[in-house]
Amino acid sequence: MTPFSLIRHWLYERLPAEATAWFDGALDGVIRSTSDGDLNLAFGLVPRKLGKADLALTAEELRAAQGARAGWDPELWSVDQAARIALLLATQGDADAFVRRLDLLCATADVAELVALYRGLPLYPWPERHRLRAAEGVRTNMKAVFEAVAHANPYPAEQLSDGAWNQMVLKALFVGSALDPVVGLDGRANPALAQMLCDYAHERWSAGRPVSPELWRCVGPFATGAMIDDLSHVICTGGEAERLAAALALWRSRDPAAANVLQRHASLAAAAAASAVDRRAPRTLA
Amino acid sequence: MKFIDPHIHMHARTTDDYERMAAAGIVAVIEPAFWLGQPRTSVGSYIDYLSSLVGWERFRAAQFGIRHYCTIGLNSKEANNEALAEQVMEILPRYLVKEGVVAVGEIGYDDQTPAEDRYYRAQLALAVQLDMLVMVHTPHRDKKAGTIRSMEVAVEMGMAPARVIIDHNNEETVQDVLDRGFWAGFTLYPNTKMGNERMVEIVRRYGPERIFVDSSADWGVSDPLAVPRTAQLMLERGIPVDHVEAVCYGNALAAYAQSGQMQAADWENPIPVDQRTLFEGNSVLRGQVPQVGVAPAAGLPLGELAFK
C-alpha cells in the first residue's frame, strides 16, 4: 500500500461515518479541482470536521508504515495531521505545482497546520524539491514546528546538505530540543559539525550555562586535538550523564589520545562500551 | 478572579504586557484583525499579518499561559482601498475556517462609505455561509447612527443578533444594542471616550446581561490591564461579584463559545503552563529559565502592575 492509501485506511478505521463521508468528499474535491480553493478550505476545516485525537497506531500499523516508506514514523501523528497530509498528497499536477501549493499552504498556515505540513515531508513526491522548505522549517522560532522537521522525520538526513544539517543539529541544542529523536544523527555526523558543537559548548561554559550531554554524541567520531581536551574536561568535571556521554564520545574517537584519557576512567570506559554495544554501533576500543 | 480580554491587539504589545496580564488573572484574549495604524499597500502584507494572528502571536501568548484566539476580517478603513479589498476577500475564507478563529471581525463602518458598506455586507454573507459569529467595530464618528445601521444591515444579511457582538459601545448606544438582542462590548480607553468610571455606572444601570468589557489595547495609548482594573473599580464601588465576573469574563466566554472554537476547558483543564512544550520555543524567553507547571501568581495588586 502507498502511504496515501495507508493514511486513508487508518482514518476510516478510526472515524465515525459522518466524518469519513466529509473526508471522502474533500478528497474527491481536491482530486477533481483545477484550482487550490477546495484544498485550502478543506485543509483548514479538518480539525472542525475530524477532530484532533491521536492517531494511536498499532505496532502492526507502524510496521506497515515502514514497509510503505522506509524510515516513516507516524507514531506521534494525530488524526488532523494525517488527514491534512493526505489531502495534500491527493492533489494533482507537476512538481512546480506541488511546490507552489506547499509554499502557499505554509505561508498561510496556523501553528498546527505547520506541524502537519512539515511532518509530511518524507511522503511528498519530488523529495529533492523540498530541501529549501525543510530548511525554512528549521529556521522557525516555534519549537513545535522545528521538531516537526527535526524529530522522527527521515527527510532531513536523506536530503539536507551538510550545512543545513549542521544548522539543524546545532539549533536543536540551542532551543532545548532532544537530539535522540533526530533520525540519522550518527550517520550524518561530520567533522565540521563536531567543531561547531565544541565551539558551542565553549560558549555555554563561558556563560556559565549547562551543556546538554547529547552534544558530545556527534563530536565523538571526529574528536581529535582540542576536542579531546574538551571531552577530558567533561569527563573530569561533568555530572553523571555528561561524564558518561564524554566517555562514549571518547570511545568512538579514533584518536589514540582519546584512549589515553579513557584509560584513566576505567569504569566509565566500560559503561561506554556497553552502552555503545546497546546502540548497535560496534567498534573496538582503540 | 479570572478575566478574558475579548478585544486586544497583542501583535502591538510587548512580553512585559503578557507577563502583567497573566499575573493580573487574564486567562484568554481575542485578537481581532485590524489595520496597522497605517494602510497596507498589498495583499501580501495582509497575508503575513493574518498568518501571524493564527501562528506567531498564538505561540507567544501560550508561552505566558494565556490562550490566544482571533477574529479574521477586512477592516472598515482598508475596505476603502477597493483594489486591495478585492484581493483580501479572496484569501479570507481560508483563514476564517482555521482553528481558534472565533468570529468574522472586526468589520463594520468607519466613514460609512459605499465601499465600506459593500465589504461589510460581503463579509456578513461569508459569516452566514460558514456559520460563524461576527464582531462589529462601530464607527467612532456619527456613532449612534452608525451602530444602528450596523445592526440593521447584519439582520438584513441573515445574522441572528445573538451571534453578533457590537463593540465600542457607549452610553448612547447601549440601550439600542441590548433591546435588539445583540451582545454589547465596551472598550475602556484611558483618558478618552469610555473610561472605567463611566463603565461602572453603565453596569450599575443596565445590569450584567449581554454586556462585557475589553481593552482594545493596540499600538496607541491604551491599557492591556483595562479589564482587571475595571473589575477592581467595580468591586470597590459595590457592584456584586457575580456581575463583575459576568462582565469581565463569563459573558465574553458565552458569546464566543458559540463558535465552538473557545471553551473554558482550554484554560481550566490545562495543559499546565509549560513554556517548553505548549507551543514551545525559547526565542521569546531569550535565555530565561522557562516556567514549567506553575502558572504565574494571579491576583497581584494592580498597583504593582502599573505601567513602567
Over 60: is that where the pLDDT of B291 sits? no
Residue of chain B whose Cα is closest to the Cα of A111: B55
Domain end among A141, A174, A207: A174
Residue of chain A whose Cα is closest to the Cα of B279: A144
- Interface probe for B, chosen from A38, A40, A84, A143 (most Cβ of B below 10 Å), is A143
Same domain, A211 and A268: yes
User: What's the maximum distance between 2 C-alpha atoms anywhere in chain A?
Assistant: 69
User: Does residue B93 lie within any of the structural domains?
Assistant: yes
- Whether B73 contacts B33, CB under 8 Å: yes
pLDDT-above-90 percentage for chain A: 86
Q: What is the pLDDT of residue B260?
A: 95
User: What is the rounded distance in angstroms from the CA atom of residue B171 to the CA atom of residue B66?
Assistant: 31
Same domain, A148 and A102: yes
Q: In angstroms, what separates the C-alpha of B23 from chain A's closest C-alpha?
A: 24
Q: What is the pLDDT of residue A121?
A: 98
User: Does residue B46 lie within any of the structural domains?
Assistant: yes
Over 60: is that where the pLDDT of B276 sits? no
Would you place residue B297 in the very low, low, confident or very high pLDDT band (cuts 50, 70, 90)?
very low
Work out the mean pLDDT of chain B and round it to a whole number. Answer: 88
Q: What is the pLDDT of residue B294?
A: 43
User: Does residue B302 lie within any of the structural domains?
Assistant: no
Region A124-143: mean pLDDT is 94
pLDDT digits (tens, 9 = 90+) for B218-251: 999 999 999 999 999 999 999 999 999 999 999 9
Same domain, A170 and A195: no
ipTM over 0.90: no
Specify the range with the lowest mean pLDDT, choosing from A10-24, A97-111, B263-277.
B263-277
Q: What is the pLDDT of residue B192?
A: 57
Number of domains in chain B: 1
Region A39-52: mean pLDDT is 93
Specify the range with the lowest mean pLDDT, choosing from A237-241, B195-199, B229-233.
B195-199
Over 80: is that where the pLDDT of B138 sits? yes
Residues of chain B whose C-beta is under 8 A from some C-beta in A?
47, 50-51, 54-56, 58-59, 91, 93-100, 260, 276, 279-284, 287, 290
Same domain, A152 and A39: yes
Same domain, A55 and A131: yes
User: Does residue A286 lie within any of the structural domains?
Assistant: no
Alpha helix locations (H) across B139-236?
A: 143-156, 174-179, 196-206, 226-236
Over 80: is that where the pLDDT of B287 sits? no
Q: What is the pLDDT of residue B299?
A: 46
Contact yes or no for A175 and B58 at CB 8 A: no
Q: Could you tell me which residues come within 8 angstroms of residue A260 by beta carbon, excluding any fewer than 6 positions away?
A: none
Same domain, A113 and A206: no
Radius of gyration of chain B (CA): 18
Residue of chain B whose Cα is closest to the Cα of A204: B287
Alpha helix locations (H) across B1-103?
A: 15-23, 43-54, 56-62, 82-96
- Whether B30 contacts B70, CB under 8 Å: yes
Q: Domain range spanning residue B63?
A: 3-283
Q: Give the dihedral sign, CA B78/B80/B81/B82.
A: positive
Domain end among A116, A147, A174: A174
- As to burial, measured by CB atoms within 10 angstroms (0-12 exposed, 13-18 middle, 19+ buried), residue B81 is middle
Number of domains in chain A: 2
Contact yes or no for A144 and B280 at CB 8 A: yes
Terminal-to-terminal C-alpha distance of chain A: 46
Same domain, A92 and A21: yes
Q: In this structure, which long-range contacts are made by residues B156-163, counting pairs with CB atoms below 8 Å and at least 24 apart in sequence?
A: B157/B121, B157/B124, B157/B125, B157/B128, B158/B124, B158/B125, B158/B128, B159/B124, B159/B127, B159/B128, B159/B134, B162/B258, B163/B133, B163/B134, B163/B258
Radius of gyration of chain A (CA): 22
Over 60: is that where the pLDDT of B298 sits? no
Domain end among A118, A139, A174: A174
Instruction: In chain A, count H helices and then E strands.
Output: 16, 0
Would you place residue A278 in the very low, low, confident or very high pLDDT band (cuts 50, 70, 90)?
low
Would you place residue B57 in the very low, low, confident or very high pLDDT band (cuts 50, 70, 90)?
very high
pTM of the model: 0.85
Region B201-223: mean pLDDT is 95
- Grid cell listed for A119: 511532518
- Grid cell listed for B6: 475579548
Identify which of B91, B93, B282 has the shortest CB distance to residue A175: B282
Same domain, A159 and A205: no
Same domain, A169 and A233: no
> What's the CATH number where B14 sits?
3.20.20.140
Chain B contact set for A114 (CB, 8 A) = 55
pLDDT digits (tens, 9 = 90+) for A148-160: 999 999 999 999 9
User: Does residue B17 lie within any of the structural domains?
Assistant: yes
- Whether A127 contacts A155, CB under 8 Å: yes
Q: Which residue has the cell 445573538?
A: B162
Cα B203 from chain centroid? 19
Per DSSP bridges, beta strands B67-72 and B26-32 are parallel
- Whether B133 contacts B164, CB under 8 Å: yes
User: Does residue A184 lie within any of the structural domains?
Assistant: no
Chain B contact set for A43 (CB, 8 A) = 94
Instruction: Tell me the residue length of chain B.
Output: 308
Query: pLDDT: is A268 or A86 the higher one?
Result: A86
Contact yes or no for B99 and A110 at CB 8 A: yes
Work out the mean pLDDT of chain A and round it to a whole number. Answer: 92
Over 70: is that where the pLDDT of B188 sits? yes
A264: number of Cβ within 10 Å: 11
Q: Domain range spanning residue A206?
A: 191-278
User: Does residue A285 lie within any of the structural domains?
Assistant: no
Alpha helix locations (H) across A76-125?
A: 79-89, 95-107, 111-119
Over 60: is that where the pLDDT of B274 sits? no
Same domain, A140 and A273: no
User: Does residue A195 lie within any of the structural domains?
Assistant: yes
Region B151-174: mean pLDDT is 97
Q: Which residue has the cell 465552538?
A: B260
User: Does residue B88 lie within any of the structural domains?
Assistant: yes
Over 80: is that where the pLDDT of B186 sits? yes
Same domain, A205 and A108: no
Same domain, A15 and A145: yes
